[in-house]
Amino acid sequence: MPKRVLVVEDSEFLGRLVADRLAARGYECTLAADGLEGLRRFTDELPDAVVLDLNLPRLHGLDVLRQIKRIRPETVVVVLTGHGSERTAMKALRLGANDYITKPFREDILLRSLRIHLERAELQAYIHSEAPLPPRVEAQVLARVFFEAPAAILHVDPDNRVVAANRAAARLLARRIEELVGAPVEGFVCPELRCRWMDRVREEASAPGGYEGEVYMEGPTGRFPAAVAGVERPEPGHLILALRDLTHQKALEKRYLESKKLASLGRVVEGVAHEVRNPLISIGGFARKLRRRLDGQPESRYLDVIVSEVERLERMVQDIEDYVAFSREHRSRFEPVDLREIVQQCVDRWKGRAEAQGVRVRFDKPEDLPQVYGDRNLLAELFGGLVENAIEAMPTGGDLTVDFRPVENWVQVRIRDTGVGIDPDDLEEIFDPFFTSKTSGTGLGLAKAHLIVEEHAGTIEFESRRGQGTVCTVALPVDRRRIPRGGSA
């Protein structure tokens, strides 16, 4: 029996083209020209798959998707979106869409996506409805699989209390198994989300696809984001919940978004620098000529100001072009390096200025610190800039402390000062190009530092309060052997 596909597309030409291509491959297709018609046809026909444009008249594609997944969660939905609408496509994936394809798209990509996801849906339907247990599987074997499974699993009774928990759940929630058994499952969720959370889990767990969501959980070691999946057991009211810590994933997503933001800002500032350079050359050249002609006259002081400001802008443009060139064109040379040696040289370079300002420097370096895999010159530039910033933050003196700490497969370098500090509201913006609290400079130093740390697959974080100093922590992996951006190791 051919698979039935509903195509919801407001462009008559594109909708007909997609339907004809799918029909040629053996699919049974129907068309809808707007969101309301698409939802009506879906309700009447309950097709196996929907090809859904997101930008629809009368009812937005996201609202259509939401209703489709409420009515029949197992339906395969492939959404179509235009360039620049990836954020909306991400929302569609979170609502249950199986895939998204950007217009203009290739026919083979759409066909392949539909085929793969329809095959998966068919397999899942078989597993849910027909797949028997393997022969001769004894109860103790299944119990051991549950107990030793690497995923955190909880068995919850109709009163929302934990009946059984495996080792992974005990590790995730930082409690002993005997403490978990009998405890209300809502107690592991942060207080502001507990109200009716399990009601929603139970409502969706009864659907064919089960429940999938994210929640902040709480344990003795603090709050953390977790993914929760839930399905009903054969016994009425009993659930199986699978939990997964999302802390690392969220950190990676944050770094990815920061990288995209820096990349887009880099393109903007490159364009600005290019457009500004030529007028600056003309203004500066004519101002210098006029200053030579008016040398000694009172009006020449105005030209002195113009020339001075032009020179400042020319330096800023040069800084921008250097930053963009570095982010795109530099070639890294990775090798095992001793961080103690590199940071010591950076501190020695600024020691004279520190002493002149009354800054006391303390350098703590353990003897057994492992080497890291990095670019010596880039790391020297990174830590030289961070040490310089710390000293500049203490114009009337203070304490600068540099220490190292090995943490599993990482080496942390902490640079602490007792200077003016950073306003907490500014901490989210310190890596943005042109953001600076100094009276001079372009604010590209920390943006470049972020690029260098990202190049080394590390992390950089600041903790600070106004008037209470700053702690900058750079963590670098001991062994990071992958091809770096812009060059080879």
Give the full edge-to-edge strand order of the sheet including 49-53: 28-32, 4-8, 49-53, 76-81, 99-102
Does residue 339 form part of some domain?
yes
Digit-coded pLDDT (tens) for 176-194: 899 999 999 988 988 877 7
Does position 305 have pLDDT exceeding 80, yes or no?
A: yes
**Domain assignment present for 483:** no
Query: Residue 68 above 70 pLDDT?
Result: yes
Beta bridge partners of 373: 336
Lowest mean pLDDT among 120-129, 371-380, 388-397: 120-129
Looking at the 3D structure of the chain, how many domains does it have? 4
Range of the structural domain that residue 176 is part of:
147-245
Q: Which of 279, 308, 329 is the last residue of a domain?
A: 329
The answer to whether residue 200 is domain-embedded is: yes
**CA gap 84, 200 in Å, rounded:** 33
* Domain CATH code at residue 354: 3.30.565.10
pLDDT band (50, 70, 90) for residue 149? confident
Task: Tell me: do 28 and 116 sit in the same domain.
Answer: yes
Residue with tokens 């309950």: 46
Residue 50's SS3 state is strand
- Do the domain assignments include residue 135? no
Q: Which of residues 96, 129, 162 is at a domain's end?
A: 129
Contact assessment for residue 360 and residue 391, using Cβ atoms and an 8 Å cutoff: no
**One domain, residues 169 and 185:** yes
Dihedrals phi, psi of 58, to nearest 5 degrees: 70, -40
- Identify whether residues 114 and 174 lie together within a single domain: no
- The Cα 283–Cα 341 span in angstroms is 46
pLDDT of the residue at 486: 38
Query: Under a CB-based contact definition with an 8 Å cutoff, are residues 56 and 14 in contact?
Result: no
Same domain, yes or no, for 377 and 262? no
Q: Are residues 116 and 43 in the same domain?
A: yes
Q: Are residues 366 and 442 in the same domain?
A: yes
Instruction: Kindly state whether residues 227 and 299 are assigned to the same domain.
Output: no
Check whether residue 121 and residue 14 sit in a common domain: yes
Our measurement of the distance from residue 278's CA atom to the centroid of its chain's CA atoms, rounded to an integer in Å, reads 38
Q: In this structure, are 240 and 180 located in the same domain?
A: yes
Q: Give the Cα separation of 256 and 124 in Å (integer).
A: 32
pLDDT reported for residue 142: 66
Instruction: Specify the pLDDT at position 487.
Output: 38
Q: Provide the pLDDT confidence category of residue 197 given band limits of 50, 70 and 90.
A: confident
- CATH code for the domain in which residue 318 is found: 1.10.287
User: Do 83 and 156 sit in the same domain of this protein?
Assistant: no
- Identify whether residues 93 and 36 lie together within a single domain: yes
Flag whether 447 is in a domain. yes
Over residues 33-56, mean pLDDT: 93
**What is the DSSP-derived secondary structure letter of residue 183?**
S
Token representation of residue 181: 């058994």
Q: Does residue 453 belong to any structural domain of this protein?
A: yes
Phi and psi (nearest 5°) for 243? -115, 145
Q: What is the CATH number of the domain that holds 227?
A: 3.30.450.20
User: What CA–CA distance (Å, rounded) separates 464 from 353?
Assistant: 23
Q: How far apart are CA 121 and CA 265, in angstroms?
A: 42
Ranges 51-65, 253-267, 338-352, 432-446: which has the least confidence: 432-446
The answer to whether position 191 is within a domain reads yes
Q: What is the mean pLDDT of the chain?
A: 83
Query: Residue 174 domain-assigned?
Result: yes
Q: Which of 279, 309, 329 is the last residue of a domain?
A: 329
Same domain as 345, residue 285: no
